[in-house]
Amino acid sequence: MALTSEISPYNPQWPLLFTAENRRIAEGFGAELIGTHHIGSTAVPGLSAKPEIDILVVVSEHINEVARSEFMRTLGYVRGTDLSVGHHFYRRDVDGVRTHKIHVCVAGHGQIARMLRFRDLLREDSTIRKQYQDLKLRLEANNRGGIAEYLAHKAPYIDALMNMHLGD
């Protein structure tokens, strides 16, 4: 079973794709928008990744969710299941291939610091970056259960890494 897209070598266009998409989505968050961040593997120079641009949107609160979801739908996004209280998720596929994921979190949500810290660790430490890349490629090569299996097998590595680097 395939992942949402195939892992490919780092593409220097990914930050530009983030910037372009960030401009498209920003108006949908209005006054509640605090900030946006390029996260995930496409935000890490030199790291192979599924070419899916991950964007973290930090908001003051979740207001007018119906209007926001409708706006996002006009841009080709589908609202997924909330990942936790205060952590909304949108995805966009083009021709059956995932291209973008949007995480919308209320300021102060624990996942904000976690996602940014993980990204920064990968950017700062070439050994961690290489270990993570090797893990992802191995999981992709052995994957039989799709994206859920892939994510479940990555989680212990990420959790252990984050536990080691809390407070750095």
The average pLDDT across 7-25 equals 96
| CA dihedral for 136, 137, 139, 143, sign (positive or negative) | positive
Q: CA angle, corner 57, sides to 51 and 67, nearest 5? A: 105
Q: What is the pLDDT of residue 47?
A: 97
- Is residue 63 helix, strand or coil? coil
Domain ranges of the chain: 14-164
Least confident of 58-67, 78-87, 134-143: 134-143
- Closest by Cα among 130, 135, 167 to 153: 135
**Greater model confidence, 143 or 104:** 104
Q: What is the pLDDT of residue 104?
A: 97
Position 168 pLDDT exceeds 80: no
- Is residue 64 helix, strand or coil? coil
Q: Do residues 100 and 21 make contact, with C-beta atoms less than 8 angstroms apart?
A: yes
Residues 129-167: tens digit of each pLDDT: 999 999 988 888 888 877 778 878 888 898 888 888 865
Per-residue CA distances from 18 to 15, 22, 66, 116, 150 (Å): 5, 6, 24, 15, 24
The average pLDDT across 12-16 equals 97
CATH number corresponding to 14-164: 3.30.460.10
Position 1 pLDDT exceeds 50: no
The average pLDDT across 18-31 equals 93
Position 124 pLDDT exceeds 70: yes
Q: What is the pLDDT of residue 3?
A: 66
The average pLDDT across 36-56 equals 96
The average pLDDT across 61-89 equals 93
Residues of the chain above pLDDT 90, percent: 66
Q: Do residues 134 and 123 make contact, with C-beta atoms less than 8 angstroms apart?
A: no
The answer for 103, left when phi > 0, alpha when psi is -120 to 50, beta otherwise, is beta
One-letter amino acid for residue 47 of the chain: L
